[in-house]
Amino acid sequence: MEVLKKALFTDLLKGMRVTLRTMFKPTVTLHYPFEKEKPRKRFRGIHALKLNPDGSLRCEACFLCATMCPSNVIDMEMTEGENGEKVLVDFTVDLTRCLFCGLCVEACPRDAIVMTDIYEFSQYSVDKLVLHKEDLLKLGEYYQKWERENK
Amino acid sequence: MTSNFLSLLFVVGLMLVAVPPITYLERKVLGHMQQRPGPMVVGFHGLLQPLADAIKLIFKEDIVPRGADRLLFMLAPSFSVFGALLAASVVPIGFIQAVPLKSGLLFVMAMSAISIYALVLAGYASNSKYSFLGGMRAAAQVLGFELPMGFAIMAMVLLYGTLDFNEMVKWQQEHGWGIFYQPVAFLLFLFMMVAEIGRPPFDLPEGESELVGGFHTEYSGMRFAAFYFGEYINIIVLSLIVSLLFLGGWSGPFAKEYPVLGVIYHLLKAGFFIFLTFWLRATFPRYRFDQMLSIMWKIMLPVSIVNVFVAALQVFLFRL
């Protein structure tokens, strides 16, 4: 029986039947650059810095996100302001090393750093992948618009 | 049988023109078998994809690696194409035959073996260890499958008593298709055909995961394309031959009255085998090298030798 099974290639024919059948099934692919998947609400994409309603920065440069970050992605520069408060000069996020774990978002006490749903951020040069304060604030505008519409 | 310059033009032209659509169809079939649409972007449903490929291959830089055997490196791809085209020249398609040859089958076997030499030479001349390994695997594969293939053909030759394709078809028109007399030889020939054109699951000379790219690692541009041209022409030629040997070639209803119908039957039968190679490629993973060799030497060779005896007995007993 075993020999007969092998001689008649039953197992191979079974596999070929499967592939032939799938040939007539509808395709399941997304034509990516033309069709895009909408990310889920809790998807962790590129970072953003939120602003207060009055337009001032939410981030107080407490360094909690930078301390929390497992791969040292976040770096901040700050000076002392007139009344002795911390003033954020620059806030950099190095996307080349980021693993999008979301710990910075968890750590932030003021809900200043958030993660948007943007997943397409490839660049032709690596230094463009290091986001600075202005980039993050621009993304923050996008995020707050998205938040109003979706949450 | 019309045998003149026009037939030669037809056969060679068919071989050259048919390759781009076949590559397109292969990608479509493979795609659908994996539940994706295949090429879709260039032109309507990706129809212009072969053209885009051709443009890309022509304008790609042609590199000869340092330390390579320049002459052999440049000659190897042309062996692949010319071997396949020479084999095509003696194969009749319906009533069209470029070169009528009494020992056509023998000539085809010799020529399609030459296109394997192209792989061996490419691997040897590239001055790359990966390519060399690919070439060596090609050499071992030739040794492994040419013998069972020869024996499978020998059984058919015993049955038909001729090496001439036209005589074979005439025999089959009288007695019925060869596949009914020799199903084992048919299966053997099918396996060996896939191995001869070096396609999955027997595409051991190439191997992206083990050998970077295999025998063609160092090739680029048109020279790279030439290997594939040869491979696809070989697919067409061998598919035509399988249908000649086992499925009655151009015989079919009304084929005698209208020879054009015969051409269509023959091409349809060959088309099925071309589709079969795509199908096999989509279904089976590549064989491991030792597995392939043991299949060739331990199973196929004894079976094919026994099959020759069976064929001889058939001829002796039934006076075919």
Helices (H) and strands (E) in chain B, counts: 13, 0
Pick the range with the lowest mean pLDDT from A16-30, B133-147, B153-167, B202-216. Answer: B202-216
Contacts of B35 in chain A (CB under 8 A): 22, 25-29
Among B32, B279, B283, the residue with its CB nearest the CB of A27 is B32
Contacts of A12 in chain B (CB under 8 A): 283-284
Measured between alpha carbons, how far is B102 from B110 in angstroms, rounded to an integer?
A: 14
Q: How far is A37 from chain B (nearest CA, A)?
A: 16
> By CA distance, what is B277's nearest residue in A?
A16
CB B108: neighbour CB atoms within 10 A?
A: 25
The candidate with the shortest Cα–Cα distance to B50, out of B79, B28, B77, is B28
- Residues of B in CB contact (< 8 Å) with A are 29, 31-37, 40, 187, 279-280, 282-284
Q: Is A98 annotated as a binding residue?
A: yes
Q: Is residue B26 scored above 80 in pLDDT? A: yes
Q: Is residue B1 scored above 60 in pLDDT? A: no
Q: Is residue B214 scored above 60 in pLDDT? A: yes
Q: Is residue B76 scored above 60 in pLDDT? A: yes
* Model pLDDT for residues B240-267, shown as the tens digit of each residue: 888 888 887 787 777 777 778 888 888 8
Give domain limits for chain A: 46-150
Residues 6+ apart with CB under 8 A from B163: B102, B103, B104, B105, B106, B157
Q: How far is B158 from chain A (nearest CA, A)?
A: 24
Q: How far is B75 from chain A (nearest CA, A)?
A: 38
Q: Is residue B300 scored above 80 in pLDDT? A: yes
Helices (H) and strands (E) in chain A, counts: 5, 5
Per-residue confidence at B3, pLDDT binned at 50, 70, 90? low
Do the Cβ atoms of B279 and A19 come within 8 Å? yes
Contacts of B187 in chain A (CB under 8 A): 9
Q: Is A90 annotated as a binding residue?
A: no
Instruction: For B319, list phi and psi in degrees, rounded to 5.
Output: 55, 45
Q: Is A62 annotated as a binding residue?
A: yes
Q: Give the mean model confidence (pLDDT) for residues B10-37.
A: 87
Do the Cβ atoms of B40 and A25 come within 8 Å? no
CB B4: neighbour CB atoms within 10 A?
A: 11
Q: Is residue B49 scored above 80 in pLDDT? A: yes
Measured between alpha carbons, how far is B265 from B176 in angstroms, rounded to an integer?
A: 16
Q: Is residue B213 scored above 80 in pLDDT? A: no
Which pTM value belongs to this model? 0.79
Q: Are B157 and B320 in contact (CB under 8 A)?
A: no
- Residues of A in CB contact (< 8 Å) with B are 9, 12, 15-16, 18-20, 22-29, 31
Residues 6+ apart with CB under 8 A from B262: B94, B95, B249, B250, B251, B252, B255, B256
Per-residue confidence at B2, pLDDT binned at 50, 70, 90? low
Measured between alpha carbons, how far is B121 from B131 in angstroms, rounded to an integer?
A: 10
Residues 6+ apart with CB under 8 A from B182: B155, B156, B159, B246, B307, B310, B311, B314
Q: Give the mean model confidence (pLDDT) for residues B122-132.
A: 85
Q: Is residue B35 scored above 80 in pLDDT? A: yes
> By CA distance, what is A7's nearest residue in B?
B184
Would you give per-residue pLDDT tens digits along chain A (151 residues)?
777 777 777 888 888 888 888 888 888 888 888 888 888 888 888 888 888 888 788 888 888 888 888 998 888 888 888 888 888 888 888 888 889 888 989 888 888 888 888 888 888 988 888 888 888 888 888 888 888 887 6
Measured between alpha carbons, how far is A81 from A61 in angstroms, rounded to an integer?
A: 12
Q: Which two tokens stand for residue B88?
A: 């095509």
- The proportion of chain B whose per-residue pLDDT surpasses 70, expressed as a percent, equals 98
Strand ranges in A6-147 using DSSP code E only, listed in sequence order: 47-49, 74-80, 86-94, 113-115, 130-131
Per-residue confidence at B320, pLDDT binned at 50, 70, 90? low
Q: Is residue B212 scored above 80 in pLDDT? A: no
CATH of segment(s) A46-150:
3.30.70.3270
Do the Cβ atoms of B282 and A19 come within 8 Å? yes
The candidate with the shortest Cα–Cα distance to A64, out of A30, A103, A108, is A108
Q: Is A104 annotated as a binding residue?
A: yes
- Residue B121 is classified by DSSP as H
